[in-house]
Chain A
Amino acid sequence: MPQQLTVDYTKCTGCRLCELACSAHHENKFQPSLARLKIVRYDDIGVDIPNVCGPCEEAPCVDVCPTYAMRRDPITDMTYVDYDKCILCKSCVGACVNGVIRLDTESMRIIKCDHCDGDPECVKICPTGAIQFGPPARSTVVDRHDKAETYLAEMTRTASEGES
C-alpha cells in the first residue's frame, strides 16, 4: 500500500518545525526557504495550513515535465526527479498545486519532497500530529471540509448581524 503525507489543518499550530526539520535533514542547515513543504499562515483569521507533496491522484508535475525527468514510482506512488534529464525549466515548480516544488538557486537544482525514504522528518517532529504518514485513505478530507464550512458560515453570520 503506498504511503502519503496527509494533513489536518485544524491541528496545525503554524510553528513551522516541519520546515526546520526538513531543511535540517536535506540541507544540513536551518533554512525554511529550502524546505520541501510549507506552512501557509493566515495570521488575521488564526488558521495555518500545511502544504505538503501529495497525495495527488493526477500529478501535474509529472504531466507538465517536457523531458520526462519528473516521474512517478509505480510502487510508492511518489513523484521524483531524474536529475540527469532535468533541464531546470521550472515547469513543475509552476504546476505544483501545493507550491512545494522549488528551484534551489544556489545549487541550481529542483528540490522536492522524497518522504525521507519512508520515514519523514516532518511527521516525526510535528508536535500535534497535524502531518501524518500513511495510506491516503486515512486522510480526513471530508471532516476537514465540514469544519471549514462551519467556521466560515459562523463568521458570515456574525458579520451580517453586525451590519444590521
Chain B
Amino acid sequence: MGFGGYQGTILRVDLGNKQFKEHPIPKEWIRDYIGGDGFAAKILFEEVPPECRPLDKENKLILATGPVTGTSWPTSGRSAFFSKAALTGIWGESHVGGFIGPELKYAGYDLLVIEGRCEKPVYISIEDSDLQLKDASDLWGEMTDTTTSRVRRLEGDPDTQVAAIGPAGEHGVRFSSIIVNYARAAGRTGMGAVLGSKNVKAIAIRGRGAVQVNDHEAFVELAKQAHRRTRENPQAQEMSKWGTWSLTATKQEIGELPTYNHRTGVFSGWEKISAGYIRPRYTVSDRACFGCTIGCKKVNYIKEGEYAGTLEEGPEYEGLMAFGSSLGIDDYPTTLKANEICNKYGMDIISVGTTIAFAMELYEEGILTTEDTGGLELEWGNKKAAIQLLEMIGEREGLGELLSQGSKNAAEAIGPEAEQYAMHVKGLEVSGQDGRTHRSIGLAHATAARGADHLRSLVTVDQLGYEDVAAKRWGKDKLPEIIDPYTEKYKAAAVVETENAYCIRDTLIVCWYSVSWPPIFWMEDFAELLPLVTGIDEFGSVDNLNLIAERQVTLKRLFNAREGITRADDTLPRRFTKDPMPEGPGKGQTVDLDPMLDAYYRRRGWDKETGLPTDKIIKNLSLDWTRDFMN
C-alpha cells in the first residue's frame, strides 16, 4: 500500500494446488507501468515463456484493474483480461465493461492471476477475504446466462459480479470470450478458451471494502468537472442515445462499412442496421457500466417474427458489421439473435462473424461446396444459414469444427486458394474498419500487439477531419495531409501518439469512449488526474506518461518477438493492399503499408528491417531486464 487508488495486492490462485496467495505490488511496478495493461505485460512477460502454448496449464490468465477503477471518475468501470491468446498464440488482451473490475477492487485486490489447471470444473469465488474454489461440475455445459444466474444464486448475493464462459470456451473454440454480467464481452483473442482449458467455468466476485484516493477532496471535485464535460460533450450525448450504432450511417457515408467480407465499403441494406432504424423499433432500455455518465448499452427486444421474444443487450456497431453488412444481412433481428447466441455460447462476434463471412466468400468462389458445409447454402444474406453455422461453431460440429479454429487456421487447412479471403492480421480477424479508406487504421491493424485491433490506436481525428485537434496535437505543419484519410503521409505520427494515449487509458483503466470522437480526455487530463489519485507527482508529467506508454508498447512487442513475430507479420490481408476499393467515396484506394511501417518503427525506435526493438531503445526504456527472459 502507500499509494492512493491501489489496494496494493495481487491475488494469485493456483488451481493445481487449490491455493490462494496474496502478494504486494512492488512500488517500482507502479512507477514504471501504472496498472492494468502495464502490470499484465510485466507478469506475462516474466512468467509465460514462448514454449508455453495458450491452452497449456502453464499459461496464465490475468484480470486486471487500474488505480482509477472503483472511483467516481467517469467511464472507469472497465477491466481487462490478459493471457497468451488462444486464437493467435501471441500477446492477448481483452477489455470489458460492466462491474467486475470495481468489485475486485472493493474485495481488496488490484489483480487476479489465475494459474495452473484444476482436474475438475470449478468456479472461483471471491467474497472479500473469503477465497474459495467451488465445484462447478453441474454448471459445465451451461450457457453463460444460466451460469451467471446460478452462480449468483449459489453465492447467495445478487450483487455478486460474475464472469463466465459458455460452451464455446469449454470446447476450446479459439475465439471464445468471457462474458461479464450476461452481455458484456471480453470478446477478443480467445480468453474463454484459456479459462476453459483451466477448467474454470466462472469467476464470482463480491467486495464490500473501499477504494481510497490520495487527495479525496480535490479528486472528487475534478471528477465532478469531468462528469460535466462528459455530459456536455455532443459526441457523448449522441453515444448515450445511439450507442455505437450511429457509426453504421457514418461508415456508409464515407464508404467504409465492411460489406461481403470486406470486399467493399458500401452496403445497400445499411439503413436497416442503422441507429435511426433500430432504436425506435427495438430498444427498450438504456444501460451503463459502473460509474459511467454515457450509458451506451442498449437493451433490445424483438416483438414479432422468427426471433420474437429475444431480449438482449447489444450488439455494438462491430456486431452490426460482423453479423450484418459483412454477411450481406440487412435484418436487425437476425443480428440481435446472433449477438445473443455469441453471448450465450461465449464467442467473439467480430471474429466469428468475420470467419463466417470468409466461409461465405469461399462458398461463392466454389472453394467450399454444400458437401463441405453439410448442405448449408452459404450465400450472402442467407440469415438462417448464418445462424445455423454460428451454432455449429459454438458446438464445434460439422464445418463449425474447422471454422472454430479461426479464419487463419481454417484457411491453412483448406489450402492456399483460401488464404486471400481470410481477413486477419496475426490470426486476429479484422474489425469493422478498412485501411483503404482510413490509412491510419491500416497501419494500426498491421502493428497492434494482438493483431487486427481497432482499440489500441484508432485515430479518429484524421478520418472525421477535426482540423483544430490535429493541429494542436501533431502540429500545423502536418496539415492537411495528416487528416487526409487517403494518404499514408504522417500517419505513423498520428498512430504512435494515439497509441500512447490509449496505452495510458488502458492502465488507468478508463473506457475508450471517453478518449474518442474527438477526445473528451487526453494525456494532459490523465496527467492532472493521476497525481490526485495516486499521490505520485511524476505521473503529472505528460512526457513521463509518454515514456511509460512507449515502454509498454515495446514490452508487448518484445513478448511477441519472443513468439517469432517480426516485420514480416506486420501485414494486412491482400484485399487491403492489392484490391482497390471497388466503389463508394474511396473507390480505387489501396493501402501502401511499407512507408507507414518504416516511419512507425523509426518513431518507436524499432529496427526498420526486422521490426524488432533495438538494444538502444530497450536500454532507454529501462527494459534491460527483459534480456534475462529472451530465448
Q: What residues make up the interface of A, taking CB atoms closer than 8 Å to B? A: 10, 13-17, 20-21, 23-24, 27-34, 40, 43-48, 124-125, 127-128, 151, 154-155, 158-159, 161-162
Contact = CB atoms under 8 A, between A and B. Distances in A.
Contact of A31 (B99, B158, B211, B288): B211
Given A154-B303, A159-B309, 17 more contacts: A13-B286, A13-B288, A15-B292, A16-B99, A17-B291, A20-B291, A24-B220, A28-B216, A30-B71, A31-B106, A33-B207, A33-B208, A43-B183, A45-B311, A158-B308, A161-B308, A162-B308
Contacts of B213: 30
A125 B230 CA distance: 12
Contacts of A124: 224
Contact of A44 (B149, B208, B209, B308): B149
A46 B311 contact: yes
A57 to B, nearest CB: 27
B315 to A, nearest CB: 14
Nearest to B297: A13
B284 interface: yes
B212 interface: yes
Contact of B293 (A17, A34, A40, A44): A17
Given A44-B182, A127-B293, A20 B286 contact: no
A28 B183 CA distance: 33
18 contacts: A10-B285, A13-B295, A14-B287, A15-B77, A16-B99, A17-B291, A17-B293, A20-B71, A20-B291, A29-B210, A29-B212, A30-B72, A40-B158, A46-B285, A48-B287, A151-B284, A155-B311, A161-B309
Interface in B71-111: 71-72, 77, 99, 106
Given A30-B72, A46-B299, A23 B287 contact: no
A66 B182 CA distance: 43
Given A44-B145, A125-B72, A30 B303 contact: no
A158 B309 CA distance: 5
A46 B295 contact: no
Contacts, number: 101
A112 B464 CA distance: 49
A17 B70 CA distance: 10
B614 interface: no
Chain B residues touching A, majority SS: loop
Contacts of A23: 210
Contacts of A40: 158
Given A13-B286, A20-B71, A46-B299, A31 B311 contact: no
Given A21-B72, A154-B303, A155-B311, A15 B212 contact: no
A66 B346 CA distance: 52
A44 B145 CA distance: 8
Nearest to A127: B293
A146 to B, nearest CB: 15
B289 A30 contact: no
Nearest to B158: A40
Contacts of A17: 72, 227, 291-293
Contacts of B220: 24
B606 interface: no
Interface string B236-274: 000010000000000000000000000000000000000
A121 to B, nearest CB: 9
B303 A33 contact: no
